[in-house]
């Protein structure tokens, strides 16, 4: 049985997950933030970019109401590569304002098949922007779940993937954020994702 994204969030953050309804999506450029936001909300609130050049330059806010009545607020932020790029930093900081008084959780979005240097750089820059305690409320998200697999193509547990394939910076961040990590496939059809979310609430 495929567990829904929300079920995984609950698992990753139990028992505090029940209070999580303000979420900021952060990470390197093109890591899958907007796509993940859509997965999370169950509808296309954010515009994922198909191509190499375009990047989300502004924060965007999306929300959804779960059948339980709980409203989920999600802020999509521009990808960060350099904390000296003040325009991007200022925009990312707006996520705090949009989710006043601040997010309950940062979702740090990464892709398994990319050069990890981008993710390591983003991680470092996000610590500069939000401070070292940033990881205390972070859940790491590895998108492209179907690429995380054994040699025989069967899906690999994400914790096993981190232990086997991640570099020391990512492992350190994984430990600092309490080993909260979730693997997600954003390419599943929206309707089935929505159904999956609704079934859990
Ligand atoms: N196969 C696969 N592709 C994905 C997944 N998630 C994101 N992508 C692809 O990754 C690329 C980047 O996705 P976006 O959601 O635009 O990434 P982003 O972090 O919002 O990008 P910027 O806003 O430009 O920084 C797109 O081509 C997506 O289709 C996934 O789970 N599986
Ligand atoms: Mg985007």
This prediction's pTM: 0.87
Exposed, middle or buried by CB within 10 Å (0-12, 13-18, 19+), for 151? exposed
Neighbours of ion ligand 2 (CB under 5 A): 33-34, 56
Closest ligand by atom to 40 CA: 1
Q: Give dist(CA 129, CA 44) in Å, integer.
A: 28
Q: Give dist(CA 166, CA 28) in Å, integer.
A: 16
50 lines ligand 1 (CB under 6 A): yes
Give yes or no for a cis peptide into 101 (omega within 30° of 0). Answer: yes
Among protein residues, the one whose CA lies closest to atom 21 of ligand 1:
30
CA 145 to ligand 1: nearest atom:
31
Tell how strand 22-27 and strand 71-76 pair up.
parallel
pLDDT by residue for the chain (201 residues), tens digit each? Answer: 233 555 666 666 655 555 678 999 999 999 999 999 999 888 888 976 655 555 678 899 999 887 778 888 999 999 998 777 888 999 999 999 999 988 999 999 999 976 678 899 999 999 999 987 899 999 999 999 999 999 999 999 999 999 998 889 999 999 999 999 999 999 874 545 555 444 443
Cα of 32 vs centre of ligand 1, distance in Å, is 3
Which residue has 């325009």 as its token pair?
Answer: 87
Give the chain's radius of gyration (CA, Å). 16
User: 26 and 48 in contact (C-beta within 8 Å)?
Assistant: no
Q: Give dist(CA 106, CA 112) in Å, integer.
A: 19
Cα of 32 vs centre of ligand 2, distance in Å, is 7
Which runs of E-coded beta strand occur in the chain? 22-27, 60-65, 71-76, 105-110, 138-142, 181-183
CA 51 to ligand 1: nearest atom:
27
């Amino acid at each position: 049985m495929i567990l829904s994204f929300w079920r995984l969030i609950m698992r990753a953050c139990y028992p505090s997950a029940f209070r999580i309804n303000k979420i900021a999506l952060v990470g390197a450029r093109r890591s899958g933030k907007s796509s993940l936001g859509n997965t999370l909300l169950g509808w296309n609130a954010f515009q994922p970019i198909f191509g190499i050049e375009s990047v989300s330059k502004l924060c965007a806010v999306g929300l959804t109401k779960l059948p339980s009545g709980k409203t989920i607020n999600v802020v999509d932020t521009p990808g960060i590569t350099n904390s000296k790029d003040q325009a991007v930093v200022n925009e990312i900081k707006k996520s705090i304002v949009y989710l006043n008084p601040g997010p309950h959780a940062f979702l740090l979005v990464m892709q398994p098949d990319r050069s990890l240097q981008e993710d390591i750089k983003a991680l470092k820059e996000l610590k500069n922007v939000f401070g070292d305690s940033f990881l205390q409320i972070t859940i790491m998200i590895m998108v492209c779940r179907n690429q995380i697999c054994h040699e025989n193509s069967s899906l690999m547990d994400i914790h096993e993937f981190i232990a086997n394939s991640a570099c020391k910076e990512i492992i350190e961040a994984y430990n600092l954020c309490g080993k909260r990590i979730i693997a997600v496939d954003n390419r599943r059809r929206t309707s089935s994702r929505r159904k999956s979310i609704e079934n859990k609430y």
